[in-house]
Structure 1
């Protein structure tokens, strides 16, 4: 398993599809926490740096969503590897808007898994129901 500890960032512009009202996590036209979390997960995936035989799965996320973001806001989600222990990778995650306002911060954990072995454990839909 090859690790490339790093910081990785993604930038998105909040659209109507990213709002709390659109994803049913509230009724306001501001960035939804689930969408913000997805962007932070995207950044953590980018920071992992694994070979093709391995991937990582989300294990735990602790997130404080501190400030609202309107439609049209530019949001940068950043994940930094802060700890590695075998298959466990822990990240510091933070999101900022274009003005530098901290929108969210927290910690995420991912577990490195063998891609084929993991997929072999996924049940077929309808089997065993």
Structure 2
């Protein structure tokens, strides 16, 4: 999936720094979205995946207007309901922007939501 870095994606805007380059939290969100798509073949109706671990190195800054391609490969590990995806991001010039792994766990959607506390209920 290709993304163009905008002002809304910068460290200044998201509060993770004070420079106008791609924010690490935004990059991680893009990488995690790639794992959601990559996990789809491992879910059945009524099931989904949730993120449980992120190990990512952000190696290269990307300025506003720059392009970043993010990918999640097939799971490097499948252990029961736990899936570990290798992830990477490359800029428009082919430079490695980020690399790492993201873990997801397959859950029953309704059960997960029932067991997640509602802050309005105290």
TM-score by length of 1: 0.89
The answer for unaligned runs of 5 or more in structure 2 is none
C-alpha distance in structure 1 between counterparts of 2:18 and 2:44, whole Å: 41
Deviation track 1:24-82 (CA, whole Å, cap 9, x = no partner) reads 00010000000000000000000001223111111111110000000011111111121
Match of 1:26 among 17, 25, 35: 17
Number of aligned pairs?
A: 119
Aligned partner of 1:6 in structure 2 is: none
Match of 1:56 among 49, 54, 58: 49
C-alpha distance in structure 1 between counterparts of 2:95 and 2:30, whole Å: 17
C-alpha distance in structure 2 between counterparts of 1:52 and 1:100, whole Å: 38
The answer for unaligned runs of 5 or more in structure 1 is 1-9
Match of 1:104 among 84, 98, 105: 98
Query: Once the 2 structures are TM-superposed, how far is the Cα of residue 127 of structure 1 from its aligned partner?
Result: 1.9
Which structure carries more helix by proportion? 2
Aligned partner of 2:117 in structure 1 is: 123
Are 1:83 and 2:64 counterparts?
no
C-alpha distance in structure 2 between counterparts of 1:21 and 1:27, whole Å: 5
TM-score by length of 2: 0.94
- Aligned-residue Cα RMSD (Å) equals 0.9
Tell me the secondary structure at the aligned position of residue 101 of structure 2. Answer: strand
Are 1:45 and 2:39 counterparts?
no
